């Protein structure tokens, strides 16, 4: 089982989850974070840290967000230190489906 990040993180990018991760398996895109499911040790400490409820556990390698996390964690830079969330994240918090706002660009 692994934890993954879904579209609730898009345009928010809180990083409190990163500060508690014991294996540094988070990767940063321009407007969201992902978890490398192959590096995740299923400890679950990141899940309650996310104020957007964007992190969940799955062992389904066919899950849309599992695939998304696996793909982008291979091309985005690793992030190991907490940063401020995105400006105006609260404006995007309540949006149900943020997939159309997703950027493939790496963060940093």
Q: What is the pLDDT of residues 77-102, one digit of tens each?
A: 999 999 999 999 999 999 999 999 99
Q: How far is C-alpha 54 from the geometric centre of its chain's CA atoms? A: 7
Give the count of domains, the chain.
1
* 101 part of a folded domain: no
Query: 28-54: buried (b, 16+ CB within 10 Å) or exposed (e) per residue?
Result: bbebbbbbbbeebeeeeebeebbebeb
66-99 burial, b at 16+ Cβ within 10 Å, e below that, comes to bebbbebbeebeebeeeeebbeebeebeeeeebe
The answer to whether position 98 is within a domain reads: no
The secondary structure of 18-83 as a DSSP string is: HHH-SS--EEEBSS-EEE-TTT-----SSGGG-TT--EEEE--TTSHHHHHHHHHTTTSPB--S--
93 within some domain: no
Share above pLDDT 70 across residues of the chain, in percent, rounded to a whole number: 100
Say if residue 17's pLDDT is above 90: yes
> Are the C-beta atoms of 6 and 61 separated by less than 8 Å?
no
99 in a domain, yes or no?
Answer: no
Domain hosting 46: range is 2-88
The domain that contains 58 carries what CATH number?
3.30.70.20
User: What pLDDT sits at residue 108?
Assistant: 82
pLDDT of amino acid 59: 92
Average pLDDT over residues 58-70: 97
Residue 103 within any structural domain of the chain = no
95 within domain boundaries: no
- 66 part of a folded domain: yes
pLDDT, average across residues 29-36: 98
Say what the pTM is: 0.96
What pLDDT, on the 0 to 100 scale, is given for residue 45?
98
Share of the chain above pLDDT 90, in %: 98
Judge whether 38 lies within some domain.
Answer: yes
């Amino acid at each position: 089982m692994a934890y993954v990040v879904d579209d609730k993180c898009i345009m928010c990018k809180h990083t409190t989850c990163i500060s508690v991760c014991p294996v540094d398996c988070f990767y940063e895109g321009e407007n969201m974070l992902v978890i490398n499911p192959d590096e995740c040790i299923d400890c679950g400490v990141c899940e309650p840290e996310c104020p957007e409820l964007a992190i969940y556990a799955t062992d389904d390698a066919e899950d849309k967000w599992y695939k998304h996390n696996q793909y982008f964690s291979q091309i985005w830079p690793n992030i190991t230190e907490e940063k401020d969330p995105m400006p105006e994240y609260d404006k995007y918090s309540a949006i149900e489906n943020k997939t159309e706002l997703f950027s493939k660009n790496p963060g940093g």
